[in-house]
Structure 1
């Protein structure tokens, strides 16, 4: 059996294991180890299993992942973000669907201290969904809005997905963060447009709250957002001003979150220990998947399968745009069944050479991949954000109703994706000017 045949059989078996619901990290490590053993020898496979995990885990940029995770968990458990929704509510409740718009803007604000879609949905879900339902909002609109608004969490920096992509694709994380700002803001505006259009067509979806806040109330609400604003200023001014690297930014952000929580009086050792435990568990899971992806990359490289698949696509005569659209469809399909980071690390060893060979910018593609993976967070049957919201609302709203609530937003996601593909400068302008 040739190396390429072995590699293709390995990929097929890997997909089978994932379809059988085996954890992605373990499936990647197991298939890659056995493949390297059959391709070379037992000693080489064991050697790779000893060296590659160390090389991956020793990447200095990777240390920013637990720090940004800790930043998000501390902010969540010490309730630093509660003022975001209330401030947006006071300012925008006069608009059609004002509470839904407030939930979107609150999620965008929380994204700047989180980097996680699930965390965004969980936080805003607990605050915004009960408020909207109490105000008579249509359950589909209320739950669907918060589920999709959570996807902004991985677009606006800091973003765990972008950090891992930068490590694998060898793209500067700071530039990815800058590109993500435009994508996140465009997505936010798109979601607000959806709410405005839907409520304009059917005002019964979102009854007017009729409470017009005074300017004193608006200013007071803005003051309550100071914890997040202070953390954002601390992180972004230092990161984009060149005072510290993305790796150091994570540590600075986590330290700032703890300091702000102490100043606000919401810091307790119990909450801090819970944040630490969740950070350790999440980081461990991510590292296992990352190690598996690194082993798969080595296996595909030694077997020649990666180059074979890339050349097969590029020499087929397909145009670069056709190649890109094929990759887009691949990620949309994978997003229906796999969690985002696993799907990304599983495919990048194969997809990156194709994209690079087709002449596309890997920086720009990183933002496109992030957007595609976030779309997968809301598409059935495994839309993680949808099930997060379902866990919050319980029997009040059915899972099917929440999925129905996301369809208008999903159309807007595809429009935003189309704009970023048609006009790459939307993503690349800030990295080019500021990076």
Structure 2
């Protein structure tokens, strides 16, 4: 049996294992080890499994992941983000669907310190959903808004997805971050526009808030956002000004979030301990999947199956647009069943050579891929953000009701994805400002 045949068989086994709910990290490691053992024998297999994960985990850029995670968890535990929603609510409540609009603004602000769409959905769900229910908002609209607003957590930096993509694709993470800001803002504006139009056409979805709001209340609420603004400006202002690298920015953000929380007297030792435990747990899971992806890259190169699949896909057609649309459909389908990091690391070893050979800019593709993966976070039947919001709202909204609430937003996301394909300059022009 040839190396190529072994490689294709192992890829088929990998797909079977993932489809049967075997954890992606262990499936990647197991299949890669067996494939290398099959091709090159036990010494090569054991040597690879001892060397490749160590090399991957020792990548200096990866140290930013636990640091950014720590920044997000500390900010959440200390309640630094609560002022964002309160401020947005007081300033925007006069708009149609003002509380839902404020939820999107609050999520965008929280995304700048979270790096995770799940954390963003959970945090904003606990803060904003009770407020919307209090003012008789349609529960489906409220829950659906919070589920989709959470997806901004992976688009607006710091983004764990973008950091991992940048390491594997070997592209500048700062450039990915800048591209993510532009797409994140476009997405947020799309969500806000949809909410306003829907409520204008159907006012009973979000009754007007009858609350006397003074300018003094608004300006006092602005003061409550100062801690989180200092954190965001300190981290990303220094990053974009070139004072430190994206890797160093994670450490700066982690320390700064702790200092701000202590100064505002909102962080107890128990909160800090919980944030540290959550950071360690999440980082461990990410690194297991990342090591598996690194092993798969080595196995695909050894077997030649990666090059074979690349040539096969490129051979189906020369039109890059049809190629990228085909890749988009694959990721949208994967997003229905897999969590984003697993889906990305499972497929990148095969997809990246195809994209590069077709001539697409890898920075643009990284941002576009992040957008696709976040659409998967709200797509039925396994949209993870929907299940997170269901856990927050309990029996107030059924799971089916939340999925109904996100359908209009899904259409907006697909339109934005199409715009990114038609106008890659939306990502590439802001990125060019870094140079």
TM-score norm. by structure 2 comes to: 0.99
Correspondence 1:277 to 2:284: no
Distance in 1 between residues matched to 2:408 and 2:267, nearest whole Å? 39
Matching residue of 2:185? 185
Residues 108, 149 of structure 1: 8 Å contact kept: yes
Shift of 1:223: 0.7
Shift of 1:318: 3.6
Distance in 1 between residues matched to 2:396 and 2:270, nearest whole Å? 31
Shift of 1:237: 1.2
Deviations 1:27-56 (A, max 9, x none): 000000000000111100000001100110
Matching residue of 1:4? 4
- For the residue of structure 2 that corresponds to 1:112, the secondary structure is helix
Matching residue of 1:87? 87
Shift of 1:215: 1.7
Matching residue of 1:240? 240
Distance in 1 between residues matched to 2:39 and 2:213, nearest whole Å? 69
Shift of 1:385: 0.6
Matching residue of 2:37? 37
Correspondence 1:169 to 2:179: no
Matching residue of 1:339? 339
Distance in 1 between residues matched to 2:64 and 2:400, nearest whole Å? 37
Matching residue of 2:140? 140
Distance in 2 between residues matched to 1:267 and 1:155, nearest whole Å? 27
RMSD, aligned α-carbons: 0.7
Deviations 1:204-239 (A, max 9, x none): 000000325222211111110011100001001110
Residues 94, 212 of structure 1: 8 Å contact kept: no
Residues 28, 292 of structure 2: 8 Å contact kept: yes
Distance in 1 between residues matched to 2:197 and 2:7, nearest whole Å? 50
Distance in 2 between residues matched to 1:188 and 1:144, nearest whole Å? 14
Distance in 2 between residues matched to 1:245 and 1:212, nearest whole Å? 46
1:257-268 to structure 2, matched below 5 A, reads 257-268=257-268
1:43-54 to structure 2, matched below 5 A, reads 43-54=43-54
Shift of 1:321: 1.1
Matching residue of 2:118? 118
Distance in 2 between residues matched to 1:108 and 1:140, nearest whole Å? 21
Residues 140, 404 of structure 1: 8 Å contact kept: yes
1:312-327 to structure 2, matched below 5 A, reads 312-327=312-327
Residues 24, 289 of structure 1: 8 Å contact kept: yes
Residues 165, 366 of structure 1: 8 Å contact kept: yes
Shift of 1:4: 1.3
Distance in 1 between residues matched to 2:194 and 2:409, nearest whole Å? 7
Distance in 2 between residues matched to 1:432 and 1:293, nearest whole Å? 30
Matching residue of 2:386? 386
Deviations 1:172-192 (A, max 9, x none): 000000000000000000000
Matching residue of 1:156? 156
Distance in 2 between residues matched to 1:189 and 1:380, nearest whole Å? 23
Shift of 1:19: 1.2
Runs of 4 or more off by more than 3 Å in structure 1? none
Gaps of 5+ in 1: none
Residues 317, 323 of structure 2: 8 Å contact kept: no
1:348-359 to structure 2, matched below 5 A, reads 348-359=348-359
Matching residue of 1:213? 213
Matching residue of 1:194? 194
Residues 161, 341 of structure 2: 8 Å contact kept: yes
Shift of 1:323: 1.1
Shift of 1:317: 2.8
TM-score norm. by structure 1 comes to: 0.99
1:8-87 to structure 2, matched below 5 A, reads 8-87=8-87
Shift of 1:60: 0.4
Shift of 1:315: 2.1
Distance in 2 between residues matched to 1:66 and 1:427, nearest whole Å? 27
Residues 94, 211 of structure 1: 8 Å contact kept: no
